[in-house]
Copies of this chain bind each other. A is one copy, B any other.
């Protein structure tokens, strides 16, 4: 006969069998209970208050967890609670699944916390002569799994560590498949993880508490490779100029990253050995260079990456500053040209979950464009060139202090804003877009891009002006993106009016003036509210992948589903590109 469980906190009554575990009944009924350890009585996170009904006496394991985790005594762990009678219970919010926010800009952009690396504190009954299990078997048994992988090194350490800890240990496990570490329970480390955004120009390291999923701190720096070429192609060319050059590039980016990692850990007083997982979000060239994988197949037709999805490598194998057994997860690349940074971006911006037709645009040196329709996900990349990153522009500079990032035309006078309000030293991408739009509006620039004055210069501020050549660079960058968007829409039978919205990713962030971007034709003319800035979605996606195994499955299925469309080989490309050089709004 079925028993009734009245879940007061959720206003529901569910049915259960006598003898069934309470957690199981709650899980089946869809109550979002935190089952971090998969109901194995290890994590102490599924406590419920029993308001009425028969309570079996708590066992050793439950008592141990009460003490170990300082759990409230009025709570019983539901995965260790056998149902004996009808019950009335309350599920406190501390025992339901934790949602971790990802992109503050997006409503409902959060994931359920379920990291790959977990720490289980167990009090193992020391071996008995009458029960001759091996030590590794004892550990597995206590973790409720049949077999765990272990490195030869840790295998050798296992006995001494268990004894030294008197068999009260914290076992750090990866995907419930591999033991990464065994530590004394009383000195168990607080697990940390690092999402890394490895950009061509900029590197960003985030420190995440792997026991809550929350971001603790962020730190950024220039990619040490920058001195060897500004864009991806020049890096690849450098790498191909000699075997030691590729090694050099690898060392440069790795050193920059490891320096950032050391700094952020030191500042937050976290030991290196507490970092058990790293997630890397990078474009194809960057993740190849970072791993020391040859890039020559990326450089010449038929342009192929060596990998898109990788197995888990260890920090030791890859050279990262972390616990040597820490695992490294690479956000998978979408085919050969669209990197893991875009996969991360799609995850963070929830592109696959949006209704209708949606565009995702990453305005970097390689303009990546992804179109999501009801049926498909199509990615492409266009060589926009580094103009939007302030490169190849006479007065250009990256978005650093002193860069003009915003320009307004007030009573025919230019009002410039600089980063950190420092004296203007140059113009970065967003400033360029504002300037081109203003000069167009004023008629000082023809739609064809010709400067309409004798000196062929557009003055911006003291010592800062745009040359004809600068305008050409912006036109080319703009046309590449515009052609990309146009062809993507057209080849899928869509018009811009069919778009539900556009996510803009990249360093531009909220500084991009939407109206001006539409004015020069960079973005299609849509209602402003349809444009969503998702900021550094590469980093946000990396964090998401770090704290949720479910998101890794989502990433894998995303890259399986995505198709790639090569723009350069499209017979319409040339024609559209030439037309798109004209600086005017859509259509």
Q: Footprint of B on A, CB under 8 Å?
A: 126-130, 132-137, 147, 149-150, 152, 155-156, 158-160, 291-294, 296-297, 301-311, 313, 317-318, 333, 335-337, 564, 566, 569
Contact = CB atoms under 8 A, between A and B. Distances in A.
B566 A159 contact: no
Contact of A297 (B147, B159, B333, B569): B159
B129 A306 contact: no
Given A129-B302, A156-B294, A294-B156, A311 B149 contact: yes
Nearest to A297: B159
A306 B566 contact: no
Given A293-B156, A294-B160, A307 B136 contact: yes
Contacts of A337: 132
Contact of A155 (B149, B152, B310, B335): B310
B336 A159 contact: no
A127 B304 contact: yes
Nearest to A178: B311
> Which 6 pairs from chain A and chain B are nearest by CB?
A132-B336, A134-B305, A132-B335, A129-B302, A149-B311, A127-B304
* Most chain B beta-carbon contacts within 10 A, residue among A135, A303, A333, A564: A135
A128 B291 CA distance: 24
A453 to B, nearest CB: 44
A556 to B, nearest CB: 9
Contact of A304 (B135, B336, B566): B135
Given A149-B311, A158-B306, A310-B155, A129 B566 contact: yes
Contacts of A306: 134-136, 155, 158-159
A291 B151 CA distance: 11
A171 to B, nearest CB: 15
A291 B297 CA distance: 40
B317 A134 contact: no
A156 B291 contact: yes
Contact of A134 (B156, B304, B313): B304
A439 to B, nearest CB: 39
A330 to B, nearest CB: 11
A552 B183 CA distance: 32
A564 B134 CA distance: 12
A126 B333 CA distance: 20
A376 B156 CA distance: 33
Copies in the complex: 2
A531 to B, nearest CB: 29
* Most chain B beta-carbon contacts within 10 A, residue among A306, A308, A313: A306
16 contacts: A127-B297, A127-B304, A128-B302, A129-B301, A132-B337, A132-B566, A133-B304, A135-B304, A149-B311, A152-B291, A152-B313, A155-B291, A155-B307, A156-B294, A159-B296, A160-B294
A150 B311 CA distance: 7
Nearest to A284: B134
Nearest to A559: B137
A116 to B, nearest CB: 16
A543 to B, nearest CB: 24
Given A156-B292, A156-B294, A569 B130 contact: yes
Contacts of A130: 566, 569
Contact of A336 (B134, B307, B310, B335): B134
A152 B149 CA distance: 19
Contacts of A307: 134-137, 155, 158
A302 B133 CA distance: 11
B318 A152 contact: yes
Given A132-B336, A132-B337, A313-B152, A137 B308 contact: yes
Nearest to A568: B129
Contacts of A291: 152, 155-156
B308 A136 contact: yes
A320 to B, nearest CB: 12
A126 B156 contact: no
Contacts of A149: 311
B317 A133 contact: no
A77 B136 CA distance: 46
A335 B336 CA distance: 49
Contact of A569 (B129, B302, B564, B566): B129
A311 B152 CA distance: 9
A232 B523 CA distance: 77
Nearest to A312: B149
Nearest to A179: B311
A126 B150 CA distance: 38
B294 A127 contact: no
A388 B39 CA distance: 52
Contacts of A147: 309, 311
Contacts of A126: 302
Given A134-B335, A156-B293, 13 more contacts: A126-B302, A129-B302, A129-B303, A130-B566, A132-B302, A132-B305, A132-B335, A134-B304, A134-B306, A137-B307, A137-B309, A152-B291, A155-B306
A137 B307 CA distance: 7
A317 to B, nearest CB: 5
Contacts of A317: 152
B135 A305 contact: yes
Contacts of A160: 294
A333 B132 CA distance: 11
A160 B566 CA distance: 25
